[in-house]
Amino acid sequence: MPLLVDPAGFLIQGERRLPCALGKGGIVADKREGDGGTPVGTFALRRVLYRPDRLSTPPQTALPVAPIAPDDGWCDAPGDAAYNRPVKLPYPASTEAMWRDDGLYDVVVVLGHNDDPPVPGLGSCIFLHVARPAYAPTEGCVALALEDLLAVLKGCGPGETLTVPG
């Protein structure tokens, strides 16, 4: 079932309407690295990553699922060949650590934003992930409460998309 982001801060899946956090830069039609904006578009749900030390079982979903390891990162350096790709840490260019202490990446859905192929500077690390307390803004991602994210994933499978309207 497709996912739709309501610009008022809700994620809609069928009859479900769940509060979500969006980027501190708002919803942007012209995404740029570091702008804090959630990009406009329809993005494939590529796969789910999770912290095996924090979840007793992998998320239930028909999407591909893999555990995160302490040395997993995601390159956010526009000039690097691995831009907007997973890397192993330590990595010589700028990266986002996937193994976080704050719980935001306990469950992460990799979205098909700027990845086929990545274009330097058009945004990296755009995920659907766990929200901060009180749904504080993200750096450009969409974020849900952990329980809501796990419930949404139960209804997701290959070919599923998330749409952020412009």
The catalytic site residues sit at 129, 141
Q: Of 145, 146, 104, 150, whose CA–CA distance to 127 is shortest?
A: 104
Q: Measure CA 17 to chain center.
A: 18
Q: Mark residue 150 as left, alpha or beta (left: phi above 0; alpha: psi -120 to 50; beta: remaining).
A: alpha
Residue 149, strand partner residues: none
Look at the block and give the residue holding tokens 């830069």.
25
